[in-house]
Every structure is written in structure tokens, then in C-alpha cells.
Structure 1
Amino acid sequence: MGKVVVVTGAGQGLGRALSQAFAERGDSVVMLGRTLSKVQEAAGQIDGAAMAVQCDVSSPESVTAAFAEIAKSHGGIDVLINNAATYEPCTVAEATDSQIYSMINTNLIGPILCCRSAIPMLNEGASIINVSSESVEMPFAMLSLYQTSKAGLERFSKSLADELEEMGVRVTTVRAGSMTEEGKAPPNWQPETAMRFVEACQKRGLADVMGFASELSSVVGTFTALADLPSDLTVKAISIGARRPLSGNPG
């Protein structure tokens, strides 16, 4: 019998790829996204059972409404993947209020809100998978807000795992590296910001890893494997990343 899988940030990128992978194997997928038309379009392109639900994970009211809709349509949840995230390079001194609130609310508060709403609906043996970033332990420039939000998410995952142990619910952090997919548009950053980011990272000795990215299709299997762990196993944290640069040359 298939699982009920809820994926946040499912309208594009990793979230869409994960939704496709779970749906293809017969799971019922609930795709959450801030822009309903975008997530509906993504759900319509998936082969399998996929339901689109509007959800701004940074809004308590939106999260509560989204999970109430899931409860009506599916009842329980077997897998929750907190994938939604936002980032934009900026220094703390130059960060706008919007940038600060967007990254912290979406990347850290969002997963907390989704977990809170999901917990009463989790089936026995359910899994929560929180997506973190390799940047937590790498000296990237201009990403202090993003790094802080993801480091906080990792700490939250550890504490939540302890809270839910008696329920038989597993909580896993997936610390992921850069990913790419065919036809994906580059980040919509100002050219000056992008140039400053690259140059600052190179000065910090990251020139050799700036071009590394894995294919989305290579990543999704990690998540399906975590969702299918035997009942006597748990994985608290895992790191995945590219072995070689985007050019395909050995790195």
C-alpha cells in the first residue's frame, strides 16, 4: 500500500523532482507551494496521484489551513519532507528587513510550523525529512542568514527526533549540496550581487567547489530510501553532494 507523502516547496526544483519520484512508485503525494497556480501546474505534469495545496510555510494561518485540507483528503501522513527554502546572497549590514524575515521564516520557522501541524496526523512509523545545506559547514560569503537558518533547522531536527522517539517517528536531516536540472533558470539575482558573491567565495578558498552540482535525478533516491527504512533502523543525519563539477570533468 502506498504512502502519503507531503512535500513543501514542491512547485519546482528538488520538491517537484521528489514529488514525481514518490508518485511514480505509487505513493499519494501532496505538493505544497506558496503560489497555487505554480504548484497546480507542477502537479498536473506528474504521472501518479498528486494533489496541489497552497501553503506559505512562513505563515501559521496558511500552514494550519493546508494541513487541515490534507487531513480531510488523506487523514494520516507517512512522510513529511520540509524542502521549501529561500536564499539570496547579502551581508548582514546590507540585508533588508524583507531578506532577513524571508530567509529565517521560510527556512527555519516554516519547517517548525509544518512539523507542528503534521505531528497529530503522523501514522505509526512515519518519517520527517528536513532538508539542510552543505553551506552550514562551509565558509561561503554573504550567506550568513541562510547558513543560520539551516543550522537552526539541523538543531531543531535533533531535538524533534528526541521528542517523537516514543511515537516511533523518525526525523532525519539531509544536508544537501548544490543541484541542477535541465532547463532550470539560474537564480534571479542582480548581476552585481552575483558577481560579488562569486568573488567573495573565491577569496575564501571556495573556487574549486563553486561549480559542483549534482543532478536532481541522482538525489531523489536518497529520500525514497529514507522513507522506506526498516522499522528497526533510523538515520539521524546524512550528507549528499556532487562528486564533480558541472562540466563533467573529474574534480
Structure 2
Amino acid sequence: MNPRKGLVLIVEDDRNIAALQQLYLERDGYRTEVAGDGPAGFDAVRRLAPGAVVLDVGLPGMDGITFCRRLRERGDWTPVLLVTARGEEADRILGLELGADDYLTKPFSPGELVARVNAVLRRAAGPARGTPAVHTRGPLRVDPGRRTVQVDGVPVEFTALELDLLSHLLQHRGQVFTRLQLLDQVWGDSAHRDPRVVDVFVSQIRAKLGSASPIRTVRGVGYSATDDGE
């Protein structure tokens, strides 16, 4: 086991599924804890300060959507990987809008779970090497290295994926990206994702930045960041 890998909290009421998730995450070097319902999981986040949470939507006591909303409302930005059933598209989109960092749709392979956990933790940690350029546009200041976003000097809370998407567009200012390109270049894969997820994250960024948002929609193609914004 790699002692440098941290704690992952699994919030899942199906014991068999939770045990399988534990097995594969621990094989990859993580420590794990399991909570069997929403309230227990919410309390465990406070007590254990995990590096990431694997959160099922259909939990007893407090569903995953409410869990994620309350977590963000109290200013806790622990990375959350939302787990939904195939028919729970509305919950999946709502969870992302409320601040979940990524999602998995059941059934999924244990290997995919480990890869997604690795990805959300890698994003949360920031760039692995070098000093990324700080991006400024009017009142907007995005510092990928420090993982901060400010408007008129006031910090704006971003999830790791929101920040990576905004930084990527600003780094390639003026270039137009399709949704599939953004999924490959920011998320790391487009094979098992709905391209509309990009729209959700762009909408969240715009809602947080208001008129300071630099993201422009290119109809029929995708998105770009410009000096003029929207």
C-alpha cells in the first residue's frame, strides 16, 4: 500500500457494492471508511476530513443530492464523486450543479472508479510541476497554481473541475473547443460521458462569475474564452 495516498470516504448503503469499492481503492493504495447512510456519511466528512468522497445518490436518511448541497453550503469543498443509477440523469446533472466534482453511472467497473478518484484528487492538488500562468481579464483573476479565482479581489469558490475548465479555456484564449475536445482535454476522457456535462459546468462558471465570465458560446461548435467575454 502506498502510504502517501489518503483517505476516501465511501457513502453507500449497499454493503456488497461498498465492499467492492473498498477492495479496489485499497488495492490502489488508499485508506477507506464506509458510511451506510446519508447522516452518518455527513458526520464522517466532518470527523475524518477525507481526501475525497464517493457518494451514492440513493441513500437512506439523506440522499446524495441533499448531502452535496449541505456540504457546499457549509463551505466544505472536499472532492465529491457522485454515483448514480443509469436512469437518474436529472439527479446527476443537479448534483454537478450543486458542486459535485465528477460522476459515475451504475453499473461501472471498479477500475473506472479508481481512475475517477485518482483524477478528482489530482485536480484538487493542482498542477504537478512548473508555475502555471496567472490569467487576468478585467476584474477576473485566475491563478491555477494557487487554485484561486477572484473577481475584484474577492475570492470565488470553485470546484477543481470548474477551475480546470476555466483555466484551460483561458490558457487557449480565442481557440474554439468542441464539447468532446473539452471532455478529453479537461476531464481526461469522452468515451463514457454525456457531452451536456460540459454545458452544466460552463453554466456554473458563468453563474459564479457573472459579467466577469470570459466564456463565449460558439453556436453549433462549443466554447471559447475571449477578451470580451459574453
The alignment's TM-score, normalised by the length of structure 2, stands at 0.43
Q: TM-score, normalised by structure 1?
A: 0.40
